[in-house]
Amino acid sequence: MAFQSAGNALFSIVVMDYRKLITIEPGKRGGKPSVRGLRITVGDVLGWIAAGMSWREIVEDYPDLTEEDIRACLAYAADREQHTMIALTPHEAAVRP
């Protein structure tokens, strides 16, 4: 559990251990991170959320998934984003003939 302060308020953040639910298997879906060994990837779930599907709609359409699975996908994506490093290179000016 981590604690953060927002102004004068102190609140706790429970960090989910997605490693119990998100698996990577080389022979499934090209080795992409998947939910519990299913053929549903983290990218699938994130795409559905980005498209506007509610968690309830996702669970209704894919009954093998749970809300905990969806949270694990979000936790995995957040962790990846926090640990991603982007190498920037100098931009060369376009050369016109």
Give, for 5, the enclosing helix (H) or strand (E). Answer: strand 2-6
93 located within any domain: no
Query: Rounded distance, CA 15 to CA 3, Å?
Result: 10
Total domains present in the chain: 1
57 located within any domain: yes
Determine the pLDDT at residue 91. Answer: 63
87 located within any domain: no
6 located within any domain: no
Pairing between β-strand 22-23 and β-strand 34-35 as defined by DSSP bridges? antiparallel
44 located within any domain: yes
CA distances from residue 14 to 4, 10, 36, 62, 86 in whole angstroms, order as listed: 11, 13, 21, 26, 28
11 located within any domain: no
Determine the pLDDT at residue 3. Answer: 46
Query: Rounded distance, CA 76 to CA 21, Å?
Result: 10
Provide the domain limits for residue 42.
21-82
Determine the pLDDT at residue 82. Answer: 84
Determine the pLDDT at residue 84. Answer: 73
Determine the pLDDT at residue 30. Answer: 94
Give, for 6, the enclosing helix (H) or strand (E). Answer: strand 2-6
Block means of pLDDT (10 residues each) for the chain, length 97 residues? Answer: 52 73 93 95 98 98 96 93 74 58
CATH at residue 50: 1.10.10.10
70 located within any domain: yes
